[in-house]
Amino acid sequence: MLEIDGSQLTIENVIEVAQQSEKVTLAAEATQRIRSSQKWVEDIVAQGDPVYGVNTGFGIFSNKKISPEDTIKLNRNLILSHAVGLGPELPDEVVRAAMLIRANTLAGGYSGVRPLVVETLLELLNKELTPSIPSQGSLGSSGDLAPLSHLALVFTTDKDGRETDSGWAAFNGQRMTGKDAMHAANIERLILGPKEGLAITNGATFSAALAALAVNAGSNLLFTAEIALAMSLEALLGASAAFDPRLHAARRQEGQKTVAENVRKLTQGSTLLDAAGRVQDAYSLRCAPQVQGPARDILEYVEQIVSREINAATDNPLLFAPNEAISGGNFHGEPIGMAMDFLKIAFSELAAISERRIYHLTDEKMNAGLPAMLVDDAQAAGVNSGVMMLQYTAASLVLENQGLSTPNSVHSLPTSGGKEDHNANAMTAARNTSTIIENTSHILAIELYTAARALDLRLRERPDARMGVGVREAHKKIRKKIPYQSGDVLWGPEIERAKELVTSGELSRALQKS
């Protein structure tokens, strides 16, 4: 069971809870901190001095003092009025990741909520009750207000407890109203007290959830891309000189050195490399370490940003001893927005260079004597199209990635009557990153599939040739899951099986162990 305390959550923990339904509990010391900050809120309310979000309105209405008797209505109205998201619903794993991150944020003891708020979020996770959250409508500043409000609709209420105000959720495989889901799971809905509505909804939590999942998925793709590169390099009889360790040491870029080293290991023992006698190859082979290496460096940087963010106090104001509320801007999603924009560019390029290698594999003028479009029998070319359309698909996804990789964090529009005049656009950046990584998974699957077929044809032409030790293992894993087929067939389902090898991590794990 995972224990959260507001400061030690890892991306790996997020994956365990979001994807593997790991149970979660609240650390005892965190409970004590939460109680202390709740007491500070109570003292502030008793003193009567205006404190943003505790006894004032929100955003442009921060100058409006709220009476103690209207505090419950203030918090309920915040949830109701801000739950205006739209678009396709986020995947369950994103919602679960966001609930965990929000619970961890509140566990830091800076937010002034009751322990019961955090415990209720954890109960939703542990009983696998997943609120339905629209994916669009957040600017990422003042956090992901709309998505978090939709989350709050499910587990909070007022004295009326209306069915129509409870949102939607999934429980035990059924979609139902939030009220019905909470009842079915035997979890009591909460009536929010001072500051609690703002504490739940303030912060770029869904952006951070998407970012954590993207970092995890992306880390798996890096080595997979190097496997695909090594397979294509051998299938094309590529020149090994471009991967010489002295060359990469001279550049001093760590990611580049890692890519070259991995390719050398994967191709160790190959007799296909250098077999064409070329001095140097096209950029998509020769410069692959210089293109794919920066993706490693950028992912390492982004992982640091996201790891800090999932342990950050991100609502406003924050509570500090003794009884001091400090207003600021920790809810602003710019750190996640910028990080996701960097990651989008890195993986867009990773996919783009992969597609170029697919093109080389299929073009008879560039593939060192292999049949056009890798048809099994050159005499049947024309009747058979081979894997021609796979490159079309990869090219289409690369073009989509290139459009999506335009930075989102540089775009801003003012909101709340100009009070909130610079917004992060973090959630859009994170959603686009997720799409790019999904597209990249498909493109790498196509390269692996195409390179495996090219190697089959190459070894038919050169029966005495040997693949490198890692390339041979990768080819074996692919062929075990997807047997070679000679004529034109329905390639689509086979590509999906190749993608499963990629996204499950099965291929990369097998080769990292070998």
Q: Which positions are annotated as active-site residues?
A: 52, 82, 202, 283, 286, 331, 420
Residue identified by tokens 């396709």 is 88
Say how far apart CA 270 and CA 464 lie, in whole Å.
11
**Chain mean position to CA 66:** 40
Structure tokens at 379: 């005499």
Say how far apart CA 514 and CA 511 lie, in whole Å.
5
Say how far apart CA 376 and CA 383 lie, in whole Å.
11
- Given a contact cutoff of 8 angstroms between Cβ atoms, the answer to whether 206 and 90 are in contact is yes
Structure tokens at 207: 């952006």
Say how far apart CA 100 and CA 23 lie, in whole Å.
10
Structure tokens at 360: 């080389």
Say how far apart CA 420 and CA 106 lie, in whole Å.
24
Say how far apart CA 159 and CA 72 lie, in whole Å.
10
Structure tokens at 354: 């992969």
Say how far apart CA 307 and CA 321 lie, in whole Å.
26
Say how far apart CA 14 and CA 211 lie, in whole Å.
11
Rg (CA), the chain: 27
